[in-house]
Amino acid sequence: MQKHIHILGICGTFMGGIAAIAKQSGYRVTGCDANVYPPMSTQLEAQGIELIEGFGVEQLELKPDVFVIGNVVSRGNPLMEEILNRNLPYASGPQWLADTLLRDKWVLGVAGTHGKTTTSSMLAWILEHAGLNPGFLIGGVPQNFGISARITDSAFFVIEADEYDTAFFDKRSKFVHYHPRTAILNNLEFDHADIFADLAAIETQFHHLVRTVPGNGLVVCNGREESLARVLQRGCWSPVEKFGSDDGWNIDGNDVVLLHNKAQGTLLWDLMGEHNRMNALAALAAARHAGVPISKGLAALVEFKNVKRRMEVRGTVNNITVYDDFAHHPTAIDTTVAGLRRKVGKARILAVLEPRSNTMKLGVMKDALPGSLRDADLVFCYAGNLGWDARGALAPLGDKAVVKDDLNELIEAIAATAKSGDQILVMSNGGFGGIHEKLLKRLK
């Protein structure tokens, strides 16, 4: 008898990924969400997954074996309330995934405030290139694969290990469920101000992750981060390999990869930024733990194509290039702008920003914004629906910064200023009202 799961909150990248690999594993998969729209809706429907708009109680008639609950679902949700009232079986997405599909896998988990998606994509691609045919679940679409999730008969499974909370009934980070044998700790800064009180609270969750790595596993850890050093000081029961430091993996100014100061080969690619060099070291170390020699890892990275929405060129009009990037935390904004600056030299960079993550909406990071945008020539900020004063926050940038509450006015202001040779860098972790296409159309 075919097992059936019904997913509440199916249209998020993570839950959509679970839906895809459950379907590939032979489950009947149905799901619902408040907003069923492309690209996730079309991606799911193409895989034969039935979608329902809203959280109506009539969905109980589907009688699935288990309801899988996404973390967008909260108490008061009519369908969830009835599941609880009738004592029907339910599980969080991470718990269900770990218990049913990852049980017998060698899980490679990629955790960190920044770079999880890119590093997971690099790692999956290195394993693929080496013929290991890994499964993966990634919070973006790696362009080498064209899909965000798949399950295979390989022993290896790469997962983007997110520190965000699991579900309304499980406030631990998602990553505590995955039990990775290989764990990458990419970096650790304060983020997710909506669920974490301070940096120490996030460090505690990272230590929960470290506690789940077995003694025959490996922790691949950023050697430059004091926060991660504190996490490991709380106790670590697995071997540790550091990257970004001389007592482990490093990379020199000529992109030569070093392990304990011995040259291993050269990183040949066209990705930008120091953050991506660090991501590459982490991926190489993790892949080596899974049996891929460094030389093979470097050969794979030559062919690595980045993730969608990571410095993705959306178009060029009248010699003006428009990029799309997911950066939404000041550190990520800083490294993204700096990476583009190294690439384009003295060309003008027009940074266009939508502060839309929960942390940014709360204004926790607003004082760090001006500094993170220092490499840009002009800054355009969309302040619609913000609960804090963007003009005041960006005041240190003087007349370099333009703030608009209306998206069309923002587009007009950018178009009026842009000239041949300019690089327009659009940064948001959402759709930003389709600004990329609107801007390209307006520039024509």
Same domain, 276 and 344: no
Residue 307 lies in a domain: no
Domain of 235? 102-302
Question: pLDDT tens, 139-164?
Answer: 888 989 988 899 999 999 999 999 98
Nearest to 280 by CA among 163, 107, 125, 109: 125
* Domains contained in the chain, number: 3
Percent of the chain whose pLDDT exceeds 90: 75
**Could you tell me the two tokens for 281?**
């070291």
Asked if 278 and 271 touch (Cβ cutoff 8 Å), the reply is no
DSSP characters for 41-103? HHHHHHTT-EEEES--GGGGGG--SEEEE-TT--TT-HHHHHHHHTT--EEEHHHHHHHHTST
Please report whether residue 298 resides in a domain: yes
Q: Cα separation of 40 and 16, whole Å?
A: 7
46 and 111 fall within a common domain: no
Instruction: Give me the residue label for tokens 């390999």.
Output: 241
pTM (predicted TM-score)? 0.81
Q: What pLDDT shows up at residue 141? A: 83
Q: Answer whether residue 345 is part of any domain.
A: yes
DSSP label of 252: -
Does residue 372 sit within a domain?
Answer: yes
On whether residue 49 sits in a domain, the answer given is yes
Question: Does residue 113 sit in the same domain as residue 183?
Answer: yes
Block residue for tokens 């895989």: 47
pLDDT band at 356 (very low <50, low <70, confident <90, very high): confident
Integer Cα distance of 153 and 218 in angstroms = 23
Which residues neighbour 61 within 8 Å (Cβ) at sequence distance 6 or greater?
Answer: none
Q: Give me the pLDDT at residue 255, please.
A: 94
Q: What is the average per-residue pLDDT within 301-318?
A: 88
From 268, 302, 336, the end of a domain falls on 302
